Structure 1
């Protein structure tokens, strides 16, 4: 099979790039030829493989993320018009091209986010908020065109599937393949908190995410922390231009909140905390939650997160309202005060995660590609 993957990047990391990475690995292991059409990074362990060709349209010197996306899409469209017929299967991610493709993997539906009451422009009535609205609006238009131009839409969660149906795409065109988890990288283990500058003799929860905006809902976690005085919180993610370090001070919980910045060793940090909290306001999947589960942590998340579909009452707590701070307080208190429950739930969480290995998900994609060839 001659497979073409059109995407921003192919590497271990965020959800979209990781899916591309795992599909590529599975494809070459079966002897398929893969052409990667990218604008950013390709994992080093994939480079140089004789079955992989890389077409790199580097646009990183172009100012603003939006302009880089526009230029990359134009370059991809021209390239596919010229070379698309060479491939058995063309897979794209989101609004990356308006040309005909066989599969489009949908990680985010901008039309849904645009209408969310929590969209940045509804919170930040300034130039940044206006830019975010314009960016989302443009992407919502582009992605609809891209989705119409493909044979099969792969939704990475049931949440995404329902959102696609709501914006007019037929259910029979949509398949669901959940994101996987690296069961070797994310696994229970014992480490010393001191190596991360974290206190040892305290109850410690973990939050991981981009909290420069309000979507991940760190503000509710900080507010809830006020009423859980025997709990500390480790926060992983860039705090640059984020209002939340200041909010922690205003709430007088800053002595219990440990901002660690962006970290590449999240898997190791997950091995030193007691549980994971991620009450996102809008989350098409939420791979970090399944990674926490694989690490043997009980999790707190919200029903709007796609990953909530795999969180059972035995493995975590799913909040039905992301704005109900008292419900979040109750969940934090339960897991803080009952260490024996945390252990039991953590074991259940790991068992669930083991059903969602990346190998199984990548093979599901390969099976789909093969079916489209026949």
Structure 2
């Protein structure tokens, strides 16, 4: 394949926009492809307007279904995209999907979450006989796990977003040679060190401020461990919590633990870079995570990170820029790690500088370049297959 050839790439995902985890990854891939002069088709329900304005981008909209439950909605999306891909497959050099998202074969399958890994990680909270909600969650997880296994086996290359996810994919019996780990990225310009704005967020000034950010509806994010660890730390340690508070039980837990005056629930925060710059360290003991963008963002702002091995992304952290605990249930260990960082300003400052340096190696352009290199490699392979089928002689063959 010549260096000047324009690739025709089809990307299949639900959402392509900046403020969405998987959506942000595909947003950056699409931007990089367009900047390199390639043609991009997005088979998606929603695409950021700034991408739609580009002449080399085509959006094939898959409307969001109105059927009840995410399980049925995702299956309908997969059926519709599968039919479309089968009808148009020959128009593309590379087809890129994300996990189980389509009943179709693909060249690249980027894996952002492994339902079987979540189910078997030891912290899965649902049981089939614990009422209708528990039964639905188990059915949802097991059906998606089966569908993911089907999708992985019909993809030429599987791209886990972390080595942790890669291990979970290999546990399904997939060929390790088909795996290429590509870590997610971060915008180091948007998420950069800068002046604190604690007054803007209603945070006290003369305390050591931890930051926790995540969906408070999900027990796997493990805010309960943070609150319990906080109760074991000195009173000058506080935590700012960014996440939706509707129907949350965590304010009551903070009161029960006697730390309500040290926990600052901020609900949804739209300016996360400013909030991060207003805190001193990031704490993230998630019970299960594939590759957390917020963890990379905290590193980029220059925050020491206290996390656990079950949180995807922890694999990039070493002792220079953070603390990685073995278990998300090690509350005393979490408290000791917090105390160590909060009790030594020089230590925390040096960790923050190392965190920023690490983040500079994990930018969105770095990630996107790896995907583009993979697309070019696969397109060359597709060309070779087409030539063989056409009966042409390839270089080096008789």
Counterpart position of 1:6? 12
| Cα pair 1:316 1:345 within 8 Å, conserved | yes
Counterpart position of 2:132? 127
| Cα pair 1:15 1:179 within 8 Å, conserved | no
Separation (CA, whole Å) in 2 of partners of 1:127 and 1:186: 42
Find the residue that maps to 2:283 and give its secondary structure: strand
| Cα pair 1:213 1:242 within 8 Å, conserved | no
Counterpart position of 1:47? 52
Q: How does 1:100-139 map to 2 (within 5 A)?
A: 100-122=105-127, 125-139=130-144
Separation (CA, whole Å) in 1 of partners of 2:269 and 2:143: 31
Per the TM alignment, residue 128 of structure 1 is displaced from its structure 2 partner at its CA by 2.2
Per the TM alignment, residue 124 of structure 1 is displaced from its structure 2 partner at its CA by 9.9
| Cα pair 2:197 2:277 within 8 Å, conserved | no
| Cα pair 2:196 2:279 within 8 Å, conserved | no
Counterpart position of 1:153? 158
Counterpart position of 2:103? 98
Separation (CA, whole Å) in 2 of partners of 1:334 and 1:158: 28
Per the TM alignment, residue 198 of structure 1 is displaced from its structure 2 partner at its CA by 1.3
Find the residue that maps to 1:95 and give its secondary structure: coil
With structure 1 as the length reference, what TM-score do the two structures score? Answer: 0.97
Separation (CA, whole Å) in 1 of partners of 2:197 and 2:117: 42
Counterpart position of 2:28? 22
> Is 2:165 the counterpart of 1:166?
no
Counterpart position of 1:318? 324
Greater than 4 Å deviation, 4+ residue runs: none
Find the residue that maps to 1:53 and give its secondary structure: strand
Per the TM alignment, residue 130 of structure 1 is displaced from its structure 2 partner at its CA by 2.0
Counterpart position of 1:222? 227
Q: Which has the larger radius of gyration?
A: 2
| Cα pair 2:105 2:155 within 8 Å, conserved | yes
CA 1:140–1:363 in structure 2 vs 1: closer, same or farther (change >3 Å)? same
> Is 2:298 the counterpart of 1:292?
yes
Q: How does 1:70-89 map to 2 (within 5 A)?
A: 70-89=75-94
| Cα pair 1:212 1:243 within 8 Å, conserved | no
Separation (CA, whole Å) in 2 of partners of 1:279 and 1:188: 23
Counterpart position of 1:303? 309
Per the TM alignment, residue 16 of structure 1 is displaced from its structure 2 partner at its CA by 1.1
Find the residue that maps to 2:324 and give its secondary structure: strand
Superposed CA deviations along residues 243-268 of structure 1, whole A, max 9, x for unmatched, are 21221121121111111112221111
> Is 2:69 the counterpart of 1:64?
yes
Separation (CA, whole Å) in 2 of partners of 1:194 and 1:12: 27
Per the TM alignment, residue 123 of structure 1 is displaced from its structure 2 partner at its CA by 11
Find the residue that maps to 2:85 and give its secondary structure: helix
Per the TM alignment, residue 214 of structure 1 is displaced from its structure 2 partner at its CA by 1.3
Separation (CA, whole Å) in 2 of partners of 1:67 and 1:197: 42
Tell me which of 175, 183, 188 is aligned to 2:188.
Answer: 183
Per the TM alignment, residue 305 of structure 1 is displaced from its structure 2 partner at its CA by 2.0
Corresponding pairs, count: 373
Counterpart position of 2:213? 208
Find the residue that maps to 2:118 and give its secondary structure: helix
CA 1:260–1:60 in structure 2 vs 1: closer, same or farther (change >3 Å)? farther
| Runs (5+) with no aligned partner, structure 1 | none
Alpha-carbon RMSD across the aligned residues, in angstroms, is 1.4
| Cα pair 1:278 1:301 within 8 Å, conserved | yes
CA 1:250–1:125 in structure 2 vs 1: closer, same or farther (change >3 Å)? farther
With structure 2 as the length reference, what TM-score do the two structures score? Answer: 0.91
| Cα pair 1:297 1:345 within 8 Å, conserved | yes
Q: How does 1:325-336 map to 2 (within 5 A)?
A: 325-336=331-342
Per the TM alignment, residue 213 of structure 1 is displaced from its structure 2 partner at its CA by 2.1
Tell me which of 222, 241, 245 is aligned to 1:235.
Answer: 241
Counterpart position of 1:353? 359
Counterpart position of 1:35? 41
| Cα pair 2:209 2:279 within 8 Å, conserved | yes
Using the TM superposition, name which of 180-189 and 194-203 deviates more.
194-203
Using the TM superposition, name which of 249-258 and 214-223 deviates more.
249-258
| Cα pair 2:32 2:369 within 8 Å, conserved | yes
Per the TM alignment, residue 14 of structure 1 is displaced from its structure 2 partner at its CA by 3.1
| Runs (5+) with no aligned partner, structure 2 | 1-6, 381-398
Q: How does 1:230-269 map to 2 (within 5 A)?
A: 230-269=236-275
